[in-house]
Structure 1
C-alpha cells in the first residue's frame, strides 16, 4: 500500500493526501495529542480567568465556560464604569453564586457601546470646559496681580 499516490500535471508531480481512515496510525495519534494539548491549554486559561472573577472564584461548583465569559464581560464593564468615575453605584456588588453572575438582574449596570461612546464624548467635553475655565482663572489672576 502506498502512503500517497501521484498524478502527472503540466507543472510536475503532485501528492494526493489519503483519506483519514487510510492514514498511518502514528499520524492520527500525533494529531490527537496536539488536540489534547490545545484543549488542555484552553481549559487552563478558563481556570485562570475564573480565579480573577470575584463572582465565581470559589471552587465549590464547576462553572461552564459560557458563564465564565459572561461574568468576565460583566466584571470588565463594571471596572470600566468605575475607572470612568460614573457615580451610578457607590460599591461594586457581585453575586454570591455562579448562577447569579449571568442573570440579567445583576446589580452592576450594563452599558451599550453607543452609551459608552456618548459618555466618552461627554467626559471629553467636560474636561475641555474645565481646562478652559482653569485657564481663564489663571489668566485673570495674572492680570489681577499685575
Structure 2
C-alpha cells in the first residue's frame, strides 16, 4: 500500500492532463492498481462527495476569485452542489463573477482547482472534514 500512496501523492502534484494520461496508461497495464489509485485520489469534481457541512467549511477557506475560476469548466452538478451551500446572495455574486470573467485559460482553471483541492486535503488531514471515498465505510458513532 505504501507504493500506492506514493503514486497518489505524486499524481496529486502533477497537472490534470498528465494525471489523466498516467491513469489511462496504468489502466491498460494494471486495471486493479489503477482502480486502487483512483479510489485514493481526490480531484476537484469529487467535491460532490463531501457532505454539506464539509463544503461549507471548505468555502470559508477558499478565495472567491479562485472558486469562480475553479467552477468555470466543471459540470452543473458540481456547481449546484457548491451554490446550494452558500447564501443566495453569495451564490448570486459568484455566478455573476463567473459570467463577467470571460474566457479563462485552462491552466488557470486547473491551478484554481488544485488550490481548492489542497485546502480540502489540509482540512481532511487536520480532521476538520471527512471525505467519504468509494469503497470505504465510515464509522460514525
| Structure 2 length-normalised TM | 0.21
The structure with more radius of gyration:
1
Of Structure 1 and Structure 2, the greater helix share is in 2
Of Structure 1 and Structure 2, the greater strand share is in 1
| Structure 1 length-normalised TM | 0.20
